[in-house]
Chains A and B, each alone.
Chain A
Amino acid sequence: MLRGVRRGTAWAVLLSVTASLLAACGSGSDAGGDLTTEKVTLRFTWWGADDRHKRTQKVIDMFQRKYPNITVKGEFKEWNGYWDSLATTMAANDAPDVMQMDELYIASYAERGALLDLNEAKKHLDTSNFDQKALATGTIAGKRYGLPVGLGMYSIMVNTDLLAKYGIPVPDDTKWSWDDLKTIGEQVSKAGGGAVFGVQSPGINDAAGLSIRARQQGHAMFDADAKVVLPQEIARDYWQYVLDLSKSGAAMSPSATIEKASAGLNQSATATNTAAFGLWWNTQLTALTAASGAKLKLLRLPGETQGKAPGAYYKSSMFWSVSARSKYPAEAAAFVNFLANDEEAAKVLLTERGVPANQKIRETISGQLKDTDKAAKEYLDTVPVSDPPRITPNGASTLDTILKRHTEDVLFGRTTPDQAAASFIREVQSEVDAAR
C-alpha cells in the first residue's frame, strides 16, 4: 500500500503536468459559450444507496434522450469511498465533470480551485426558482460553487411503535429539553430489558448534536473568518451529556453504540428497532421507515425553547458542482440545469436527495409524495429555524472524524469531557490553519 500511495502521488504530478500541457492546446468549450453539437461525454458522480442510483440513472437516460449528442456516464459510491475516490481523481486531474458535493467539503474543494463558479455558466443554468437564502449556502466569496439540491433539517426520529409497546407516551416536542430526552430514554431502556434502548447516541457520525447545542446557546462552531469560536464549556457539556446517556443506560454500551452508528443507515439502531430515539435528517424518514418497518415520527429537537435561538436550520442536503477543469463546462451546466429544473426529472427524483430547494419543483412534485415524504416536507415547512451556520471552512472537512474520535475517547473513559472539549477545539483550529 505504501508503494501505492507514493505511486499515486507521483502519477498525480506527472498527470497534472501532462494535463496542463494538453489543456493549453485542447478544444474544450467555455462555460458561457453555446452548447456543442459534437458528440461529448460527461462524467457524473454521486454517493448514495441503491434507490438513489436507480432514480439517477433514469434521469440520466431522460437527459440523453433530450441531448442525443451528450452521453452522461454515471459513477456512484457510498459516502466514505466517495470522498477517497474524489480526492484521488482530483489529484490525477481526472475529476468527473459534474459531482454531488457536500457542505463539509465544498469549501475545501472550492478554495483549492477545483470547482467552477457556476455564475460563469448562467446562460445554461437557470436559478430563478431558488430561494436566495438557499442559493447562498453554495456561495463562497461571491462565487457560486454549488447549486443546492435539496433542503434538510435535523430532527429527532422516534419509533412510536416501541413507545406504544412499553406504554410510554410520545413526549411533547414543542417544549422538551435534552434532559427530558435522557429521562425518557432511560425509561425505554428499562422497559426494553437489554434488547431495546432509549437513544442512539449522537456524536459518532457527525457534529450535528454539538453544533445544535452551540446554536441553541447563541454560539456557533466557526465565525465568518473560519476561526473556531465554539465555547469550551458547550463542548464539555455536550460530551458530558453523551457520557451520561451511556452511563445512565439510556444509550447502548459504548462499543455497541459505535458499532451501530458506524454501520450505515440500514444497520443503525433506529433501522433495527433497537433504539427508540435518534438524531437524523428529516428527509431520512422514508428510508428509515422502510428499513425498520416500524412507525417513525419526526420530533423537533430538544432544547429548542430553553435556549436563546432555535438550533434547527435549513441545510442544503447536497450541491451540484462542476469541475473547474471540465472540458465541457457549458454542457455540464446544462446537465445540472436538467437535474435542478426539469419537471419530469423531478418527478423521478422526488425528495430522495432532500426536499427540493427549487421552490417551483417543490410544488410540482407535492402531489406525488408518499406519506413519509409529506411528513418530511411538513416538518420543513412548520418547524422554526434560525439562520444557517457558516459553511464548514477549508481544512475542516475532517471535522466529523475528529469529533468521532473524541466521543470514543470520552465513552471509553480515555479522556474527560473537559479535556476532550479543549483538545477538539485545538485540533479543529489547527486543521483550518494548516489548510491556509
Chain B
Amino acid sequence: MSALDELRQLRRGGVQVRKRDNKAAFWFLLPWFAGLVFITVGPVLASFALGFTKYNLIQPPRFIGLDNFARVLGDERLHNALRVTFTYVFVSVPLQLACALGVALLLDKGLRGLAFYRSAFYLPSLLGSSVAIAVLWTQVFGTDGLVNRVLGFFGVEGRGWISDPDTALSTLIVLNVWTFGSPMIIFLAGLRQIPVVYYEAAAIDGAGWWSRFRRITMPLLSPILFFNLVLQIIHAFQSFTQAFVVSGGTGGPSDSTMFYTLYLYQQGFSRFDMGYASALAWFLLLIIAAFTAVNFWAAKYWVFYDD
C-alpha cells in the first residue's frame, strides 16, 4: 500500500482510526512517560520527603521536621552563595541577551554565508556548559593563560583571574555571555517573523534606524525577548558545571564562585547531609518560581502581542 493510499484510508476511516492512533501514541509515549515518573517525578517527590529528614546517604533517613528549612535562615555561607548566584544571574543574563540580540540583528541583514555565521555563533552554546570548556577556561584565564599573554603584549600586567576572588566570578560571567548562541537563534527566528512592510512604511515616513528598531523591532520582538529572558534566568540559576570545574569543586577562592547549586551539591555529597541538600533544592525551586512569576507579571507592562 502506498503512502498516498494510506493517507486516503486515514481520511476515510474517521473516528475509529483516530482511536487506534491514540493507542499507538500512548505506546510511543510510554518510554518517555516511564522516564518521567521513575526518573523525574518519583525522585522529586522523594527529595521533598527527604527535606524533612536528616539523611547521611548510608543510614536510613531520620525525620527532623522543619529543621532543614529553618537552617536556611541562619546559614551565612548559603547567603553568600545566594549573593554570588544573584550576581551571576543578573549580570550575565542581560549581557548575554544583549549580545544575542546584537548579533541576531547583524545576521538578519541578509549576510552572505549566513548559515556559517549562525552555526559559528551557536557553537559555544553547545559547548558552554561542558566540562571541556570549563577546563579550557581555567587555562585561558590562568596566570600563564591566553588572556594574560594578550594583555602582556599590550604591556598590561595580568593576574590569576580564576585564583583571585575579586575576578573569579567575572570569568564565569564571561563564559555564560559567550554562550549567547541559543537565544540568538531564537531572536533570529523572531526577526524573520516581523513583516517587512512595517519597515518599508516607516522608512517612507522618514524613520531612521533607531526609531525603526525602537518602535517596530522591539515591540514585535518583545514576546521573543520575554521568552529568552525567562528561559535564560532559569538556566542561569541552575548553572553548576562551570563553577564546579573552574574552582575544582570548592567554589573558591574564598567562596567567590560558590553557586547555589554547587553549595547544594557540597552539602549532599561532601558533607553527606542529603536532607539539607534536598531542602535547599526545594528552596531553589521556590526562588526560581518566584522570579518567573515576577517576570510574567512584569510582562504585562512591556510585552506586546501582535494579535
Contact = CB atoms under 8 A, between A and B. Distances in A.
A170 interface: no
A401 B269 contact: no
B47 interface: yes
B250 A401 contact: yes
Interface centre among B40, B44, B239, B253 (most CB of A within 10 A): B253
Interface in A249-300: 253-256, 258-259, 262
A13 interface: yes
Interface of A: 1-3, 5-14, 80, 83-84, 87-88, 90-91, 108-109, 112-114, 253-256, 258-259, 262, 395, 397-398, 401, 404-405, 408-409, 412, 414, 431, 434-435
Interface residues on B, range: 35 or more
A282 to B, nearest CB: 25
Contact of B163 (A87, A113, A262, A434): A262
Given A2-B264, A5-B264, A112 B56 contact: yes
B287 to A, nearest CB: 11
B40 A408 contact: no
B252 A256 contact: no
A262 B160 CA distance: 13
Nearest to A20: B60
Contacts of B45: 10
22 contacts: A1-B238, A6-B281, A8-B268, A9-B46, A9-B47, A13-B61, A14-B42, A14-B46, A80-B249, A87-B269, A112-B59, A254-B163, A258-B252, A259-B163, A398-B271, A405-B252, A405-B254, A408-B165, A431-B271, A434-B271, A434-B273, A435-B272
A294 B170 CA distance: 38
Contacts of A6: 43-44, 46-47, 278, 281
Contacts, number: 133
Interface centre among A258, A397, A404 (most CB of B within 10 A): A258
A356 B126 CA distance: 48
A91 B269 CA distance: 9
A113 B43 contact: no
Nearest to B282: A6
B284 interface: yes
Contacts of B238: 1-2
Contacts of A412: 164-166, 253-254
Nearest to A264: B248
B270 A398 contact: yes
Given A6-B44, A9-B46, A408 B39 contact: no
A269 to B, nearest CB: 12
B274 A91 contact: yes
A1 B163 contact: no
